[in-house]
Amino acid sequence: MFMNAIIGKYFRKLSLAAAVWLIGLSAMPVLALAQNSPQSNGGGFYTVQLKSAADFSSLLNDARNIHHVLFSNQSPEFKNIYTFDSNESLAQLKTLWQGQFNYLEPEMRTQSAGIVVNDPGFSTNPLDIDKEWGLLKAGFDQAWQKTTGSQNNIVAVIDTGIDETHQDLKTINFVPGFNFVSQQSILPGTNSDDNGHGTLVTGVLGATANNGLGIVGTNWQITVMPVKALDNSGQGDAATLAQAIIWAADHGAQFINLSVGGVGFGHDTTLANAISYAFNKNVLIVSAAGNDLNVTGQSLDQDPVFPICDDNNYNMVIGVAATDQNDQKADFSNYGHNCIDVSAPGKRILSTINIDPTTKKPSPNSYAYASGTSLAVPFVVGQAALIRALYPTATNIQIRDRIISTADSIDSNNSTQCGGSSCSGLLGSGRIDVPASLQTAITQKFGEGSLVKAQDLGVVYDIIGGQKRMVSPFVFNQRFSDQTVIISTSEQIASYPEGAYLTPLDGTLVKYDANPTVYIMENGQKLPVTYAVYLEQGMNQKPINTLSYAELSSWPTGSFLPPTDGTLVRGQSEPTVYWVIGQQLHPINYGFYIERGLNIFPLMIVPDSDIQSYPQGESYIR
């Protein structure tokens, strides 16, 4: 009946969300990419005047991001003029379009006086993947015309530590941090990174501008708090991460960069409570979607990843997927309707590093290319810091909502990138658009939690988490029958992206017609209930509510609901006995069983398949 061998302790592991290291420039103390021209990869920005409107089909075939120029003037010399970017070189386009244009020239890009960047890794071409294409794609170059940041903004980078001695990070205003691996303080100006990942993330966020070296970060002025929660292999656990979040919130962090993702464990109450604690202290938390299948990524609606999905059903975490220079989902990036809020550049990102990714040996003042949703997160944190630099009284909710509502939709660029199917609605509201998020002062159209009825549609929405979430008649009657509803129109709430249906109260049993599976609602997720647990917890005395497939499928599915804490469980043909503690099944051996006096309690026998469905915890042995 009992396991015969010691089972190693099971940790709820968190790991780095930068899975692919493309190039390590560890042998080069100074970046050697300054000589690459904007069109060194065969692409660039161009202006063309087509001979006739009929030639537009060629433009559609070979160009991206097509824009009119002087389109309001009908004089012949200004007709059929377009600006565009393309992956083709100027010479290739002239050959392809021979006889179809009056002129075809590189577009002369301008910037306002005073915005000068001399860092050799910086590029004016968002297709130049050998340089910092991500800054241009997200529009940071335009945003800097309004603000380059503020040292009043404190970002906690919870990661593997940071090498504050790196030549391209020295102008960051570092404040004291904490190392939860060694349980020691991190003093400003020291190197706490024995992996390289935290230094990589920090370079994207705030590498020194205009020092003639390396790269430039999203913010030219910023304060960073190093918090080490991952060891030299990039591994950690949920409890330590929760400690790190609470510590950062208590020590003045306004933003938390979580370029981590944990696979293989369910909803963690301690971590969720830490996120709620920080969020309620006005801290903005941004986390990575994770890179769980190197070929296609995975759906977080089917297999949630944490901490990105541990947002307590109030969108307390901005979840970020990764995209490439063509606004396509990076092949490795996870995706999903429920946990992803926006997307950001995350493929072949150039940044600072202090550890050779191949040899794992120290490599001071180095740079590397890396890919992963880890790299997408600091672009969003950088955007958030610029918003607060320009609008210093903005709350975390207002900044979150502004980031989500101003993103550029990229669904049309991703027709097959999500498991072979369309990514429509699975990459958040789109790729971040930083200048758009800075255009107007921040005001709140509807308060958080407002119930708004779109009169022209007859639909009630709850404005929550930066989204409008449809409220079904069942949920409305269960939760809001006595509350005031604001009458509006669909046009007035159009700026809020559509979220999942609002969920019923915790403990509600739900199903839909075509499927016999019964679910119980808990923390914004639907947990499947096995028949044994259904009877064991007396659910046969409660009503089961049949809802529409659209409503039920919009909610993430969690782990199977385990038996009640304290229950002893065994499979029908399996000898191992499990003790249910903390909503997890912990395998126990005979010595532990006798020592704890568990032999006086009955065993719950369940189908073998049920055992594998329940959340598993560490073994308890004597």
The residue type found at 352 is T
What whole-number distance in Å separates Cα of residue 433 and Cα of residue 46?
Answer: 22
- Tokens representing 454 are 């779109």
Q: 159 an active-site residue?
A: yes
Alpha-carbon Rg of the chain, whole angstroms? 26
Q: 197 an active-site residue?
A: yes
Please pick, among 159, 237, 268, 310, the residue that the annotation labels catalytic: 159
Q: Are 300 and 406 in contact (CB under 8 A)?
A: no
Please pick, among 150, 363, 374, 559, the residue that the annotation labels catalytic: 374
**Length of the chain measured in residues:** 622
Q: 68 an active-site residue?
A: no
Q: Are 377 and 323 in contact (CB under 8 A)?
A: no
Q: Are 163 and 169 in contact (CB under 8 A)?
A: yes
Residue 288 pairs in a beta bridge with: 320
Please pick, among 166, 197, 267, 337, the residue that the annotation labels catalytic: 197
Distances (CA, A) of 154 to 480, 485, 519: 38, 38, 42
Burial category of 580 from C-beta neighbours within 10 Å (exposed 0-12, middle 13-18, buried 19 and up): buried
> Which SS3 state, helix, strand or coil, does residue 496 take?
coil
State CA 294 to chain mean position distance. 17
Return the sign of the alpha-carbon dihedral for residues 71, 136, 296, 526.
negative
The dihedral region occupied by 20, where left means phi > 0, alpha psi between -120 and 50, and beta the remainder, is beta
3-state secondary structure labels for all residues of 152-213: EEEEEEEECCCECCCCCCCCCEECCEEECCCCEEECCCCECCCCCHHHHHHHHHHCCCCCCC
Q: Which residues are catalytic?
A: 159, 197, 374
